[in-house]
Structure 1
Amino acid sequence: MRNLDITTLRSFVAVADSGGVTRAAGFLHLTQSAVSMQLKRLEEMLGLELLDRSGRTIALTASGEQLLVYARRMIALNDEVITRLTDQAFEGEITLGVPHDIVYPAIPRVLKQFHAAFPRVKVQLISSYTRALKRDFGQGTCDLILTTETTIDAGGELLCTKPLCWIGAPDGSAWRQRPLRLAFGRQCTFRPKVVERLDTAGLEWDLMVETESDRTIEATVAADLAVHAMIEGTEPPHLEQIEHNESLPELPAQHINLYGAQSTKGVVHDTLADLLRRAFAGSDSVKLRAVSG
C-alpha cells in the first residue's frame, strides 16, 4: 500500500499555485532543491509525470491537474483534523482588502463571525479602490481582496453580480437638474461607465465634486447638491436610490470578485474566504471549520 505524504502534497500545491519551484520554495520556507526533490519523489511514487517542464514556465500535466484537486482536499482535511483534535489557538494576522463602497453592510458581519472563530488572529482591513487593491495583491501585501469590476481576471472568483444604481438625497431633486451634477472619487472605476451612459443618452452633465474622500461625496449628495452611483444595496442610510422613471440612463452591472481564495494557506485563510463567499451570496449561515482557542 502506497501512502501520500501531506508535506509533499503541500509542495506540489504551492508549485501549482505559484507557477514555479523558486517561488514555492520561498512561500514554504524551504530550499529550491528540497522542493524539487519532494516533487520528484511524488512522481516516482505515483509513476506519473505531474509537471510539464518543456516550456519556459512549469505547467501541470493532465495527471497533475487531477492530483491537484485531491491534494487540496487532503491538505484541508488534514489541517481540520489537527485543529479540532489539538484545539490549537491560532495567532497571527491576515490582510483583507475591500473597496470603500462594499464595506457595508457585509464586511462588519464577516469580521464579527471571523473574530468569534479566531479571536487571536488580527484582520488588517484595507479599504481602498479596486485598482490599488489589485496592485497591492499583486505585490503580496494582501492575502485576500474583493474587487468591483465589469470583468474578472485570471485567478479571480465571481461572488455575485449587482447593478449600479443612481443615488441621491432622500426626497432630493438634484437628479432633475441639467446639466446633471455628479460627485465621484478620482479613482472610481464606476465613473467612466456612468459618463459613457450619460453621453450615449445625450444628457448634459457636470462633475461637481472630484475627491479622494467618500465622506465628501456622501455629504455633497446628502445635501442634494449632486448625485452619485453605487452598487445596489450598499448605499448608506442617509442616502437613497433615485426613482427617476427612466429620466436617467440605466447603469451597467458590476461583478464583486474575490482574489486569493484559490491558494491553500490553511484553515484561517480558507474560513475567511468562505465567510466572504457566503456574505455576498446572501447566505447568513456559515459553517466555521475552526475551533477558537
Structure 2
Amino acid sequence: MRNLDITTLRSFVAVADNGGVTRAAGFLHLTQSAVSMQLKRLEELLGLELLDRSGRGIALTASGEQLLAYARRMVALNDEVIGRLTDQAFEGEVVLGVPHDIVYPAIPRVLQTFNANYPRVNVNLATSNTRQLKEEFNRGTYDLILTTETGEGEGAETIHHMPLRWVGARNGSAWRQRPLRLGFCRICSFRPVALSALEEAGIEWELGLDSDSDRTVEATVSADLAVGVLLEGTQPGHQELIDHGGALPRLPVQHINLYGADRVREKYVEELAELIRQSFSALRPSHIRAVV
C-alpha cells in the first residue's frame, strides 16, 4: 500500500501556487533542494511526471493538474483536523442555567453531544433555583435557562412535564405525623405549591426545617425528621416516593420550561436548545399518569 505524505503534497501545492520551486521554498521556509527532493519523491511514488520542466518555468502536466485538486483538499482537511483537535481557543460561549433537581440525567448528555459538535464553543453551566434563574435571565445573565413551574411562564416553551411527589426517608413514618413536618429550602419553588395543597386539604403542618441549604434539607428528610417534595425520578437513593394512599394531597404536574430559545442569534445556541428539547423528550412518555 502506498501512502501520500501531507508534507510532500503541501510542497507540491506551494510550487503550483507560487509558480516555481524558488518561491515555494521561501513560502514554506525550506531550501530549494528540500522542495525539489519532495517533488521527486512524489513523482516516484505515483510513477507519474507531475511537472513539465521543458520550458523556462515550471508548469503542471495533465497528471499534475489532476493531482492538484486532490492535494488541496487533503492538505485543507489535514489542517482542519489538527486545528479542531488541538486549538483550545474558544470561539463562542453559551451561558446555560438549570435548576439543581433537573440537571441529571439529561444535561450531561446534552453537554457531551454539544461539545462533540462544537468543541470550540464553551458552555458555562450554572445551577440555581427557578426564581433566581428567571431573575438573572431577565437581567441578561443567561442565554438559555430551564425552569420548573406549575404552568407555562410568559415567553417560555414547555418542553416536558414531570409529576411532583411527596418524598421521605426509606421505610419512614414522618408522613403519618400531624402536624406534618416539612423540610424545604426558603427559596424552593415547590414550597408554596405544597403548602397550598396542604391548606386546601385541611392538613395541619409545621416547618421542621427552614434552611438555605439543599444538602441540609436532604439530610433531614433522609433521617425521617420531615417530608419533602421533589420531581418524580429525582429523589436520591436514600429517599423514596411516599405511598401514602391518599393521606396527603395530590400535587400538580410541573412544567419544564425553556426560556431564551426564541431570541438566539447564534446557530450553536439554537443547536444547544434543540439538544435540550430532544434529551428531555426522551426521558419518559409525554403523558403523565395520575398520581396521589
Task: Please report the TM-score for the alignment, with normalisation by the length of structure 2.
Answer: 0.64
Displacement of 1:266 after TM fit? 2.2
The answer (yes or no) to whether the contact 1:105–1:234 under 8 Å persists in 2 is no
Given residue 252 of structure 2, which amino acid in structure 1 is its aligned partner? P
The answer (yes or no) to whether the contact 2:99–2:146 under 8 Å persists in 1 is yes
- Provide the C-alpha distance between the structure 1 equivalents of 2:240 and 2:119, rounded to a whole number of angstroms: 36
- Provide the C-alpha distance between the structure 1 equivalents of 2:157 and 2:119, rounded to a whole number of angstroms: 27
The answer (yes or no) to whether the contact 1:222–1:239 under 8 Å persists in 2 is yes
Matches within 5 A, 1:36-75: none
- Provide the C-alpha distance between the structure 2 equivalents of 1:236 and 1:116, rounded to a whole number of angstroms: 30
**What residue is the counterpart of 1:262 in the other structure?**
262
1:123–1:166 Cα change, 3 Å: same
Displacement of 1:175 after TM fit? 0.9
1:173–1:283 Cα change, 3 Å: closer
Given residue 93 of structure 2, which amino acid in structure 1 is its aligned partner? E
Q: Secondary structure at the match of 1:277?
A: helix
Deviations 1:247-270 (A, max 9, x none): 111111111100011124222101
Matches within 5 A, 1:221-240: 221-240=221-240
**What residue is the counterpart of 1:203 in the other structure?**
203
The answer (yes or no) to whether the contact 2:197–2:249 under 8 Å persists in 1 is yes
Displacement of 1:232 after TM fit? 1.4
The answer (yes or no) to whether the contact 2:143–2:264 under 8 Å persists in 1 is no
Tell me if 1:164 matches 2:154. Answer: no
Displacement of 1:200 after TM fit? 1.6
Given residue 242 of structure 1, which amino acid in structure 2 is its aligned partner? I
The answer (yes or no) to whether the contact 2:153–2:257 under 8 Å persists in 1 is no
Displacement of 1:154 after TM fit? 3.1
**What residue is the counterpart of 1:109 in the other structure?**
109
Displacement of 1:283 after TM fit? 6.1
- Provide the C-alpha distance between the structure 1 equivalents of 2:157 and 2:105, rounded to a whole number of angstroms: 20
Deviations 1:8-42 (A, max 9, x none): xxxxxxxxxxxxxxxxxxxxxxxxxxxxxxxxxxx
- Provide the C-alpha distance between the structure 1 equivalents of 2:236 and 2:227, rounded to a whole number of angstroms: 14
Tell me if 1:148 matches 2:148. Answer: yes
Given residue 269 of structure 2, which amino acid in structure 1 is its aligned partner? H
Q: Secondary structure at the match of 1:107?
A: helix
Alignment RMSD, CA only? 1.9
Given residue 231 of structure 2, which amino acid in structure 1 is its aligned partner? I
1:232–1:156 Cα change, 3 Å: same
- Provide the C-alpha distance between the structure 1 equivalents of 2:148 and 2:283, rounded to a whole number of angstroms: 20
**What residue is the counterpart of 1:181 in the other structure?**
181
Q: Secondary structure at the match of 1:249?
A: coil
**What residue is the counterpart of 1:250 in the other structure?**
250
Deviations 1:87-135 (A, max 9, x none): 8956332110011221122222222222222233221111111111111
- Provide the C-alpha distance between the structure 1 equivalents of 2:123 and 2:170, rounded to a whole number of angstroms: 35
Residue correspondences, number = 199
Which of 1 and 2 has greater Rg? 2
Tell me if 1:274 matches 2:274. Answer: yes
- Provide the C-alpha distance between the structure 2 equivalents of 1:231 and 1:269, rounded to a whole number of angstroms: 27
- Provide the C-alpha distance between the structure 1 equivalents of 2:177 and 2:282, rounded to a whole number of angstroms: 36
More displaced stretch, 106-115 vs 167-176: 106-115
Consecutive unaligned residues of structure 1, counting only runs of 5 or more, are 1-85, 285-293
Q: Secondary structure at the match of 2:279?
A: helix
- Provide the C-alpha distance between the structure 2 equivalents of 1:240 and 1:194, rounded to a whole number of angstroms: 17
Bigger relative contact order (CA 8 A; separation at least 6)? 1
Deviations 1:173-226 (A, max 9, x none): 111111111111111121111111111212111111111211111111111111
- Provide the C-alpha distance between the structure 2 equivalents of 1:228 and 1:94, rounded to a whole number of angstroms: 33
The answer (yes or no) to whether the contact 2:91–2:121 under 8 Å persists in 1 is yes
- Provide the C-alpha distance between the structure 1 equivalents of 2:275 and 2:129, rounded to a whole number of angstroms: 21
Given residue 172 of structure 2, which amino acid in structure 1 is its aligned partner? G
**What residue is the counterpart of 1:127 in the other structure?**
127
